[in-house]
A and B are shown apart, each in its own frame.
Chain A
Amino acid sequence: MRKSLSIVTAAAAVLLAGNLAMIPVATAGDALPTDKECGKSKPTDAATKGWCTMINRKQGNCLACHDVVTKRFPAALPASGNIGPPMVSMKARFPDKAKLRAQIWDAGVANPTTSMLPFGRHKIISESDIDNIVTFLYTI
């Protein structure tokens, strides 16, 4: 009991630090693909496609600035940045899907001094890439 409690406390502390993603996943089979695996397996479902766009450095490169808090985070992925807030409970925090999409399309509308890139407005990624990312974010 005591031991499991301290594990829970440790996990909570890590969660607070926005670093849950660094905890090795229990069931490896469940983990999201790494960039390399994305290239090999060519996922067809929207959510996994969105994830693959997010982690690719030449596409979304979201992890340069954001941690993604999910138990399915692949252990092999390099450290994330902390310029933006960690992505956690996105569906609960963005009940309006359009708002979430708008944040990715052009973060400058909500915050003119943002350092997030205008992914849609500057055509950094495609419209369907953005849709896929929103689909993925709704799974975490």
Chain B
Amino acid sequence: MNKKLILMLAGLGIAFGAPLTASATPESDLKEFQGYFLKKFPTVPLEAYKDGVNALPQYADRVGNWELIMDFPPFEADIEKGEELWAKPFANGKTYSSCFQNGGKGLAVGYPFYDAATKKMHTIEADINECRVRNGEKPIKNMKYGEMAQLTIAFRRLSQGQKMAVKLNSPEALATYEKGKQFYWARRGQLNLSCANCHVQNAGNKIRGDVLSAGLGQGTGFPVYRTKWSLSNKPLGTIHRRYGGCNKQVRAKPLKPQSAAYTALELYQAYMNTGIEIKSPSQRQ
């Protein structure tokens, strides 16, 4: 490859084997992305990535601590609260189950998705709110933590242990996927780092005291209960809350949860997680 071409690719924010070439399809992206990690961490099988950073050999000296925490998971109360909220009838007597096919069972593996009838992208959080509004309730305002995160846990647990299988079966879904992919690989913020700089190029490396998790599997464990977030008394967080945190870290402006850009990013990550099980919620550092 000549130097000019390398520079050009770098300008697009592309490196380490996930080129935005015209011939790249989501299928070839997927193969390349998963292949990169399976080669980088030969002892970590695909299914292990649902455990985030805990799956990486570079985290081995701390994983015992995580296992200890898992003996008495700090998120038990949030699971219960989520189930309670999920089952509680609205003023009209209906429940959340009534809004979803099959009561919501097994659906989380296909989120987010584009729906031709409503002509928009659907996330779990947005659909939970839509269900509320359709039944005469006010939408939940906080899309980062609290009740929305608890309800999302309840919804995702209806697919617990099932493998992610997002479909990109419309031009709109494909266009959204491309936007998410651009977002993932583009440098941003004053610190000029892309998601991939940290979670692809440096997965397993230490940034100060933190081991960087692999981009593969990110999201399968959400919402997560985070020790760092518990310091501010809001330990539970949705995936878009986390995106905001990772944007802030590079001194980029965090976007609103449920913004089109974050939903596209979630779609890209969810598609990259094809074949990895949902394990919600999870505990993280």
Chain A: interface residue total (CB-CB under 8 A): 18
Find chain B residues with CB under 8 A from A122 CB. 190-192
Q: How far is the CA of A73 from the CA of B210 in the complex (A)?
A: 21
B190 touches A81 (CB 8 A): no
Of the listed stretches B49-57, B93-101, B194-202, name the one at the interface; the rest are far from the partner chain: B194-202
A-B contacts counted at CB < 8 A amount to 50
| Inter-chain contact A79/B192, CB cutoff 8 Å | no
Contact of B207 among A64, A108, A112, A124 (CB under 8 A): A64
Residue from B9, B10, B11, B207 whose CB has the most chain A CB atoms within 10 Å: B207
Contact with A along B204-231 (1 / 0, CB 8 A): 0111111000000000000000000000
Given contacts A117-B192, A118-B192, contact A82 B6 (CB under 8 A): no
Q: Is the CB of B10 within 8 A of A112?
A: yes
Instruction: Name the residue on A nearest B251 (C-beta).
Output: A124
- A82 CA / B206 CA spacing, docked (Å): 5
Name which of A81, A118, A124 has the most chain B CB atoms within 10 A of its CB.
A81
Provide the main secondary structure of the chain B interface: mixed
Complex: A78 Cα to B207 Cα, angstroms = 12
Contact of A115 with B197 at beta-carbon distance under 8 Å, contacts A122-B192, A124-B190, A124-B191 already known: yes
Complex formed: what's the CA distance from A113 to B6 in Å? 9
Q: Is the CB of B209 within 8 A of A82?
A: no
Q: Which one of B15, B190, B205 contacts A113 once the chains associate, using CB atoms below 8 Å? A: B15
Q: How far is the CA of A29 from the CA of B197 in the complex (A)?
A: 39
Contact B191 A83 (CB under 8 A): no
